[in-house]
């Protein structure tokens, strides 16, 4: 989902028993947050992978749109060196055409 939802809930919980037929070692959940009196929206993605009764991995990624828009589509990070190389090649090509 790239748009923040219209309705929010204050709590979320998950309880799974190993004997449950829907039990899974991996869990992924997206949470949507609004803050600053609804002027900023964020997406928090939580991934959990259970290795054993004692070990698990938890990763959290977040994205906030500080512009106030409900649009939460992530924009890929730009590799500045690759961008500069690309821009320089385009500039050279343009200069060759003009000359």
Tens digits of residue pLDDT in 15-62: 878 788 888 888 888 888 888 877 788 888 899 988 877 788 899 988
Sign of CA dihedral 23, 26, 32, 35: positive
Q: What is the pLDDT of residue 91?
A: 65
Residues 6 or more apart from 53 whose CB is under 8 A from it?
A: none
Model confidence, pTM: 0.59
Q: How far is CA 35 from CA 66, 68, 92, in A?
A: 10, 10, 46
Task: Name the token pair of 64.
Answer: 């906030």
Q: What is the pLDDT of residue 95?
A: 61
Higher pLDDT, 44 or 4: 44
Sign of CA dihedral 51, 53, 54, 57: positive
Higher pLDDT, 3 or 23: 23
Q: What is the pLDDT of residues 56-99, one digit of tens each?
A: 889 998 888 877 777 777 656 666 677 677 766 766 666 666 65
Angle at 96 between CA 91 and CA 99, to 5 degrees: 120
31 in Cβ contact with 15 (< 8 Å): no
């Amino acid at each position: 989902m790239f748009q923040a939802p219209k309705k929010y809930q204050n709590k979320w919980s998950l309880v799974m028993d190993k004997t449950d037929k829907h039990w899974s070692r991996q869990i992924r959940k997206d949470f949507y947050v609004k803050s600053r009196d609804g002027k900023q929206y964020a997406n928090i993605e939580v991934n959990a992978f259970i290795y054993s009764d004692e070990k698990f991995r938890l990763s959290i990624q977040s994205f906030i749109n500080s512009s106030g828009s409900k649009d939460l589509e992530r924009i890929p990070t730009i590799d500045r060196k690759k961008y500069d190389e690309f821009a320089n090649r385009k500039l050279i090509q343009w200069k060759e055409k003009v000359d």
